[in-house]
Amino acid sequence: MQNPQIIMTKEEVELIIFKVSAEGQDAINMKIYKNGTTCRYGVGGLPQLGISGMSFIYDTKYFAPLIEKVPQEILDQPMNYEEETPNGYLEYVLAFYGVSTNGDTGEKANWTKSTGVRVKLDQQSKFNHSIMGLLDGLTMDAAELTNEWYFDVMMNVVYKAKSSTLPIETIMATPKTDKEIKTDFENYVSQMLQSVRKWDMRKFVENKTYEINGALCKGVVKQDSNSFKVTFHPENGSEVKANKPKWKFW
C-alpha cells in the first residue's frame, strides 16, 4: 500500500489561520506566523469584537507550540465539509500556508502551498467527526497562548495603558466611536468570563507595568465568575489619571 501524498510538511508551514464564525460574524479570528507576526480579534463568542491587534514579535513562542500539536495527517488530507444550514450556520477554518516565492513570510507573502480544514455546520447539526475535537482544541489553544497579548491590546485601546510587554511594533484597529469601544470591551469581558476554560485575567497583569500619561503603573485585576474590574496604581505613589472609560463593569 502506497503512502498518501504529502501536501505540506510541518517545516514548510509559515502561517496558521484560525477562524470560527456564525451567521456572518467572526467569534474569533487569528493569524499566527512562524516569523512571530500575530494578528487577532475575538475571544470565541458573539457578537464579533471590533478591536483587533497585530504585533511583530520576531520569535516563535506562539507558533511553535501550535504547529507541534498539528498531526501530519491534517496537512496531508485537506477537508472541506459543508451541510445545508436551514437553522443557521457555524463554520470552523484551520488553514496552513507556506513556501513563499517573493522572499516575504509575513502579510505580503506569495504562498505557493496551502492546506487545511473547513467545516460548515447547521446550528442543529449532529455531525460527530473526530476533526471537531481537533479544530476546537487547537483554536482554543491558540487563543489561550495569545490571551495575555490580546488583553494588553484591550488595555491600550480602552485605558490608553501601554503594557511593558506589548511589542513596540503593534498596530491596533478600533471602532470609530467611544460608545462602540465601550460595547466591544463589555462583550470582551463577558466572553472571557463565560469561557469554558475559565480564563483568569488576573494573571495577565503580573510581572509587568503599564505606562499611562508617562507614568509607570501596576495593573490590578479583580475577577470572579460574574465580575471584572481593572485598576492602575502608580509605582512612585503619585496620582495618575488613567483615561478611564465613562462606564462601570458590574
**In the predicted model, is pLDDT for residue 100 greater than 60?**
yes
Inter-residue contact 161 to 240 (CB < 8 Å): no
Q: What are phi and psi of 220, to 5 degrees?
A: -130, 125
**What's the pLDDT at 235?**
84
- CA-nearest of 70, 51, 225, 78 to 139 is 70
Q: How far apart are CA 219 and CA 151, in angstroms?
A: 12
Give me the chain's average pLDDT, please: 92
**What's the pLDDT at 222?**
96
**In the predicted model, is pLDDT for residue 239 greater than 90?**
no
Q: How many CB atoms lie within 10 A of CB 142?
A: 25
**What's the pLDDT at 246?**
38
Mean pLDDT of 221-250: 71
How confident is residue 245, by pLDDT bands cut at 50, 70 and 90? Answer: very low
Q: What are phi and psi of 177, to 5 degrees?
A: -115, 155
CA atoms within 13 A on the CB side of 115: 19
Whole-prediction pTM value? 0.92
**What's the pLDDT at 238?**
52
Residue type, 106: G
pLDDT, tens digit, for every residue of 2-28? Answer: 445 678 999 999 999 999 999 999 999
Q: How far apart are CA 166 and CA 17, in angstroms?
A: 21
pLDDT, tens digit, for every residue of 111-154? Answer: 999 999 999 999 999 999 999 999 999 999 999 999 999 999 99
Q: What is the DSSP letter of 48?
A: P
Residue type, 246: K
Looking at per-residue confidence, does 203 or 241 come out higher? 203
**What's the pLDDT at 128?**
92
